[in-house]
Amino acid sequence: MKPIVLILCTGNSCRSHMAEGVLRAVAGDVVDVHSAGSKPAGYVHPKAIEVMREIGIDLSAHTSKHLREFLGREVRTVITVCGNADQACPLFPGQVNRHHWSFDDPARATGTEEQVLAEFRRVRDGIRRVFTAYGAGLREGAAR
């Protein structure tokens, strides 16, 4: 059974889903990746789906979930991607690791359609860099 990595943000509509998609693409064969929120928005932001599709990752089947859904599961690693989720994060059964990598919330972007999409892409690219490197480390550790 693969260890569970749970990625948390407040709304579970953008950042955590983008991180889940990247980590699943990079290391989904060595870890079981999920995302959730402390106050889930109830949807995955359409622009997050759009910008992830641009890099070949499909989030269209993702759903917004509450972190409570994972309290009874053995979560090995919890990664928070926003300050509010970091503060609200409980301990999970079996939790060994905890990381906090904060990213701006692209859902708060304002301006023209292109400016908003540019912000989603900027955040996506930051998430992609961090979670690709993290996933490479997980794969290396699993190979040992």
Catalytic residue, candidates 9, 23, 49, 59: 9
Cα–chain center distance at 134: 12
Give the helix ranges, DSSP H, for 28-112.
46-53, 83-88
Edge-to-edge, what's the strand order for the sheet holding 32-37?
32-37, 4-9, 75-80, 97-100
Catalytic member of 82, 127, 130, 138: 82
φ and ψ at residue 59, rounded to 5 degrees:
-105, 5
Is the separation of the CB atoms in 31 and 5 below 8 Å? yes
Structure tokens at 105: 């919330």
Verify whether residue 82 is a known catalytic residue.
Answer: yes
User: Does 14 participate in catalysis according to the annotation?
Assistant: no
Note the residue count of the chain. Answer: 144
Question: Which of 6, 19, 22, 89 is an active site residue?
Answer: 89
Give residue 6's Cα distance to chain centre: 8
Active-site positions read 9, 82, 89
